[in-house]
Amino acid sequence: MTDSMSPLAFKAVLLAALIQLVNALDFMMIMPLGPDLARDLGISPAWIGYLGGSYTLAAAVSSLLTAKIIDRLDRKNVVLVALTGLSLSTLFCAFAWNMPSLFSARILAGLFAGPATAIALTIVTDQVPVAQRGRAMAIVMGAFSVAAIAGVPFGLKLSLLYGWAAPFFVVTALSAMTLITIWLLLPNMTTHLNSSAHTPTTEVSLLALLSNNLVINAFMSMGIAIFSTFLIVPNLAAWLQFNLGVERDAMSFYYLIGGIASLIVLQCGGRLTDKLGALPVTILIAGVIIFLLLDGFMHNPWLPPLVIFTLFMALTATRTIVAAAVNTQVPHPWERAAFMSLQSVCQHVFSGLAAVLSSMILIDVNGRLENIAQLASVSMLLTMIQPLFLFWLLKKLHSPHKAVKEIAEK
């Protein structure tokens, strides 16, 4: 990866991956710890979902609130403030004594996580050339796979040995070490403030961004990919156990294999995107996903459940990364952080709506999930539509008019 990438770009990618790893661990570990929290803090198991949802909602809100000003600041300073807040908030979680205190700490953590994630992707976009962003985004977003492979099982083991607070202490320490590393190694990043079309007092207009057809097209390309994925993903574990008879004890193995496969496929998909282009890779992935939906959810599967689960997790994650890599070409340097913040809001909204819709469609009949075929049909339709939005986006991005405009604004 470093053969033609500058040292600063390579450093930015690795540091952004560390930020994403901290965020992924902070977000993902709360749900597996649910039974421990219910037992030790007297929290109702039915309330555990609120702890995960509060973090996500707070991240979306803070991304929206900071979108207007985040591009007027040094990227490094934004990272340092966001990680400091995230570290302290996660530490507060370890000292919670009941549901209200833990709920408040999770909201606070989410408020800092939103800008941290947006600025990490912005730094990568600033430093990495367009031709290498597929690989770069795959490495950065691969942090979620690493969290699933190692972070969640390790957190559960720590909780078993040393109590439910132990994973929060470890994530706090990792966040603090990431903070120190960025402070020492990442230079100040103010190039976006020096553009001829930007002044330090320039405010990015969110309404102008949201009324830009190019931006809307980019968000739709990403949003449809996420929506079609989250129609299925939240219900995969229940489908495996209730419909296909997979043992509960086997789920850790399924997620381990799925995480490893996602990490590998993400890197391959990123490199193929840089070499072949985003559209051919997306069409290929869409074809395989449609086959998996047909085989897995429309009748008794021909493929083993582990194969369906692993490929679906890996390919849907890769499809999202390809869309994200293309979207990095949309904003101008002085509005990149605002764009990434709004994209983060878009991701949360689409994933949340998909989860709600799936809950409305699915029903429990004698211990089995029914109407899963209807859900898969909607997911297939969206999977066929998503490459069209990507095609239109790429066509607009590569138009001579846009190229001339970008040169004039530099």
What angle in degrees, to the nearest 10, is found between the helix axes of 372-397 and 336-361?
160
Helices (H), 298-335: 305-327
171 and 260 part of one domain: no
At residue 371, φ and ψ (nearest 5 deg) are 75, 15
127 and 218 part of one domain: no
pLDDT at residue 257 greater than cutoff 70: yes
pTM for this entry: 0.73
pLDDT band at 11 (very low <50, low <70, confident <90, very high): confident
81 and 145 part of one domain: yes
Query: What one-character DSSP code corresponds to residue 233?
Result: G
Task: Among 173, 192, 211, identify where a domain stops.
Answer: 192
Buried-state track 333-363, b at ≥16 Cβ within 10 A, e below 16? bbbbbbbbbbbbbbbbebbbebbeebeeebe
Contacts 24+ apart (CB under 8 A), 297-303: 297/232, 297/239, 297/372, 297/373, 297/375, 297/376, 298/373, 298/376, 298/377, 301/244
Asked if the structure places residue 224 within a domain, the reply is yes
57 and 90 part of one domain: yes
Mean pLDDT of 380-404: 82
pLDDT at residue 197 greater than cutoff 60: no
Asked if the structure places residue 150 within a domain, the reply is yes
- Are 266 and 145 within 8 A, CB to CB? yes
How many other β-carbons are positioned within 10 Å of the β-carbon of residue 46?
A: 8
What's the pLDDT tens digit per position in 128-162? 888 888 888 788 877 776 776 677 677 777 888 88
Parallel, antiparallel or unpaired: strands 368-370 and 363-365: antiparallel
pLDDT at residue 3 greater than cutoff 60: no
At residue 370, φ and ψ (nearest 5 deg) are -105, 160
Q: Can you read off the two tokens belonging to residue 276?
A: 């072949």
Task: Among 169, 192, 215, identify where a domain stops.
Answer: 192
Say which residue, 53 or 163, is predicted with more confidence.
Answer: 163
User: How does the average pLDDT of the chain come out, rounded?
Assistant: 82
109 and 222 part of one domain: no
277 and 166 part of one domain: no
Instruction: Print the domain residue range for 161.
Output: 1-192
What angle in degrees, to the nearest 10, is found between the helix axes of 48-66 and 336-361?
150
Q: Can you read off the two tokens belonging to residue 82?
A: 């966001």
What's the pLDDT tens digit per position in 74-97? 888 888 999 999 999 999 999 999
Q: Can you read off the two tokens belonging to residue 307?
A: 């194969």
Distance CA 181, CA 102 (A): 28
227 and 177 part of one domain: no
296 and 220 part of one domain: yes
pLDDT at residue 1 greater than cutoff 60: no
Q: 325: domain CATH number? A: 1.20.1250.20
219 and 313 part of one domain: yes
Distance CA 31, CA 48 (A): 7
Task: Among 192, 211, 230, identify where a domain stops.
Answer: 192
Distance CA 171, CA 164 (A): 13
pLDDT at residue 381 greater than cutoff 90: yes
Asked if the structure places residue 197 within a domain, the reply is no
Query: What one-character DSSP code corresponds to residue 390?
Result: H
172 and 216 part of one domain: no
Report the share of the chain in percent with pLDDT over 90.
Answer: 28
Mean pLDDT of 373-390: 94
How many independent structural domains does the chain possess? 2
pLDDT at residue 404 greater than cutoff 60: no
- Are 143 and 17 within 8 A, CB to CB? yes
The DSSP element (H or E) to which 400 belongs, if any, is helix 400-409
Q: What is the pLDDT of residue 149?
A: 67
Asked if the structure places residue 198 within a domain, the reply is no
The residue type of 217 is N
215 and 337 part of one domain: yes
314 and 372 part of one domain: yes
